[in-house]
Structure 1
């Protein structure tokens, strides 16, 4: 058994060596496809049904607004990350410009956001499996999926990159196929077996612009924000990317095009083909589109793709939470054992296993809330709140960076458009997005619970400070 003195010797050595041990195993092919797939998550495949149902065609405005301001977050993050290539993630520049306490709050909040997102994703995997096996309990495929993804991530980072590459490729090809198929249905005036004609009129009907009024419009923001969760994943891969100065700007700048193709065109096609009245809030609108068109085989294929999409998002969640917990440990914000890497694959195994255990515990909520859609809404709202907090910290760090290091900004080759003014506008927009969550009972429940997390962080920070005070005193005396 290791004594305290041995622990004290091991910990600093690991802290010094750990940042250089992560392998740069992610190539441009991996990063570009992960960035592409990161904007296509469970929020689009599953959450879009609820969003269209509550917001009608005004959902298009919501996705444009959230997409635009999400892109601004990415540009701020990109400029900051490229000022120093030794940053492991955005938590590092938050620590530099806002201090260790801010880094502690951000790191743990971002870790929890991915744990919660992964729970939402594997829960949805259970719902997709019920398409083929309606009497199967949702928790069975949910736990099986989590176990498979944990094994994926136990392998090398290149194995993770390969898995995510193919997951993302399946999503991209399917959505492009869906857009082309839907466009053909609209062009030919396809009429479904239940009498709904595919037409642009389904989009331009004034009655379906805001069918539930302003309240419905505002309710659409939560899932839209959750849909974009994962675009900042690039900011956790810097230490494992081979050429970040070249790859990161390309991946970030491709975001607007991805929003137009994957969100705008897919929403337009779904509403035009199925009509607003034909979209169910309790199922994937992508599956509904082909089912209503009388193509059950195609609907089953789309359901399979939606399942792989949820697995892809969950896979990113396992990876990101593991790397963030590893970074927290390196910064001495988490137990030193979480920074230990496996000898052969250089994977932070203990961080991975702890994160997966927390995801497993959360997935068991299916026993308490068996309705998948209700649980998905609650869990995804909590994830959205935590992601907004993380994005907000990135923006605040950017403001401090602009004030403290104008020299670095002048030298930057990847400046944020609009600079300080746009940063403030983006912050105000995300504050507005949190405030409007009070108008929906399900989102309000998660909003009311979120302060408990930050209270817990405050308590743990105080405990951490008290433990470090004797260590600092010993250093001074020596």
Structure 2
């Protein structure tokens, strides 16, 4: 392990393509500004928002708004820190490459592989979720076949070119954004009684304080709600990985970082506010049908369940598409640094890291098999052991930024075009917030299992990294 972070070879800056349109690391800048903009906007809207919000509302009541606000604030700070580093040096490995440089080789290796592991497990989760919806529409095709079909189609999309990934994600994310914007507008009009044809007696701002008050289950429920919603925010950082394959990485990162506040405010807080004002938090409809379906039903939207299934399927496919892209680019970055098989670092004539994509999707296929064969043992272990990785990633970003600020100021202060607010005080405050969530998870039965197993896997990966460092293995290519 290097005692001097600056001794590590600086990561390549892919911000300026060479004369052949190829970035120095072999990737091509195939993502257009509209692709990056939609990836940034849609990246914070996961299927978890649509599917998991009902349980959070049941736990915290209207107070779930505070849970979303707390987690949203934490994500805004983390994205600001990541944006500071990514705008200064856009890289396909993003925070893994920055950790490599600022904290040491072991840190970049460990967080890179943990992040890869998180997303390949997500591939299996999302493929299965999509297959459940598709089987409901076409029961003649078995669920496992649907999971296989969606994995194959999106793998092929990613193998063609990065622009095809960007195009698919542009439309997937676009549907999510339009759907949730329409939901907020229609729901907001219904709350204030001005939506034509909607005369819901249950709608109104009174739902925020009636039925037991704003915090019907006590202030402690806010923290329990935090545990239930925190993982639906994972994915905000994807735009910093994708920026390395855009025409203007620094501009893309800066724009995404500056817009994260309104994106979280509108899509998360805005839509949940509409749900808890359209219906009482303890409505049976929310528990039985889910928060968004129940809200749509309450204002007379026909076939609300099927409408939401289409939106959830889009969110699932978007997450699967981005998950495969993200896992493959992290594998590619690890390969470039000698921390993964060299084949992962190779790109074809179109600038696509085929081996990294195929290596990631193979593990995803294996995880899908585990989900069908041993859902309550092997797959549950995979799921729980990757559950807290999101928080680990955010912690590493915080500690990395503490060191990278000095490195950037010393080597290229003109690149510090995005700055973390109130540095270093807000950085340390964010570290404290994330650490508190991890500790609080130990008091929750489901959370405890996730933290313990995730820490176990992280400890194994870190041990491997330290041994490799000590033995001098996997030297820089």
Q: TM range, normalised to the smaller chain? A: 0.7 to 0.9
| Residue in structure 1 matching 2:320, options 297, 314, 317 | 314
- The alpha-carbon deviation at position 366 of structure 1 amounts to 3.5
Q: Secondary structure at the match of 2:45?
A: coil
Distance 1:380 1:308, change over 3 A: farther
Residue deviations 1:368-415 (CA, integer Å, cap 9, x gap) = 6769xx999997765551111111111111111234554468542211
- The alpha-carbon deviation at position 255 of structure 1 amounts to 0.9
1:422 aligns with 2:426: yes
Gap runs ≥5 in structure 2: 1-21
Residue number in structure 2 paired with 1:59: 64
CA distance in 2, matches of 1:192, 1:138: 39
Q: Secondary structure at the match of 1:275?
A: coil
Residue number in structure 2 paired with 1:43: 48
Residue number in structure 2 paired with 1:457: 461
- The alpha-carbon deviation at position 133 of structure 1 amounts to 6.4
Residue number in structure 1 paired with 2:238: 233
- The alpha-carbon deviation at position 41 of structure 1 amounts to 0.7
Moved more, 113-122 or 399-408: 399-408
Q: Secondary structure at the match of 1:188?
A: coil
Distance 1:267 1:380, change over 3 A: farther
Paired residues of 1:117 and 1:379 also in contact (CA < 8 A): no
4+ runs deviating over 6 angstroms: 133-137, 189-193, 374-381
Residue number in structure 1 paired with 2:35: 30
Residue number in structure 2 paired with 1:3: none
CA distance in 2, matches of 1:101, 1:242: 31
- The alpha-carbon deviation at position 18 of structure 1 amounts to 8.6
Q: Secondary structure at the match of 1:310?
A: helix
CA distance in 2, matches of 1:40, 1:261: 11
Distance 1:257 1:426, change over 3 A: same
| Residue in structure 2 matching 1:434, options 414, 438, 441 | 438
- The alpha-carbon deviation at position 216 of structure 1 amounts to 3.4
Residue deviations 1:19-59 (CA, integer Å, cap 9, x gap) = 53100111111111000000111121112122112121111
Q: CA RMSD in A?
A: 3.3
Paired residues of 2:56 and 2:225 also in contact (CA < 8 A): yes
CA distance in 2, matches of 1:75, 1:259: 13
CA distance in 2, matches of 1:379, 1:42: 19
Distance 1:458 1:57, change over 3 A: same
Paired residues of 1:222 and 1:384 also in contact (CA < 8 A): no
Paired residues of 1:186 and 1:200 also in contact (CA < 8 A): yes
Distance 1:203 1:177, change over 3 A: same
CA distance in 2, matches of 1:126, 1:220: 28
1:277 aligns with 2:278: no
Paired residues of 2:387 and 2:450 also in contact (CA < 8 A): no
Distance 1:60 1:397, change over 3 A: same
Task: Give the number of the structure whose residues are more often helix, by fraction.
Answer: 1
Paired residues of 1:189 and 1:197 also in contact (CA < 8 A): no
CA distance in 1, matches of 2:30, 2:105: 29
Residue number in structure 1 paired with 2:401: 398
TM-score, normalised via structure 2 length: 0.85
CA distance in 2, matches of 1:274, 1:159: 41
Paired residues of 1:18 and 1:330 also in contact (CA < 8 A): no
- The alpha-carbon deviation at position 300 of structure 1 amounts to 1.3
Paired residues of 1:117 and 1:383 also in contact (CA < 8 A): no
Residue deviations 1:334-362 (CA, integer Å, cap 9, x gap) = 1112112223x221111111211212222
1:106 aligns with 2:148: no
Distance 1:192 1:126, change over 3 A: farther
CA distance in 2, matches of 1:364, 1:440: 29
CA distance in 1, matches of 2:443, 2:138: 35
CA distance in 2, matches of 1:135, 1:209: 47
Residue deviations 1:81-109 (CA, integer Å, cap 9, x gap) = 23235675222221111111111011111
Paired residues of 2:115 and 2:389 also in contact (CA < 8 A): yes
CA distance in 2, matches of 1:148, 1:395: 36
CA distance in 1, matches of 2:135, 2:295: 18
Residue number in structure 2 paired with 1:9: none
Residue number in structure 1 paired with 2:367: 362
| Residue in structure 2 matching 1:446, options 423, 429, 450 | 450
Residue number in structure 1 paired with 2:81: 76
- The alpha-carbon deviation at position 170 of structure 1 amounts to 0.4
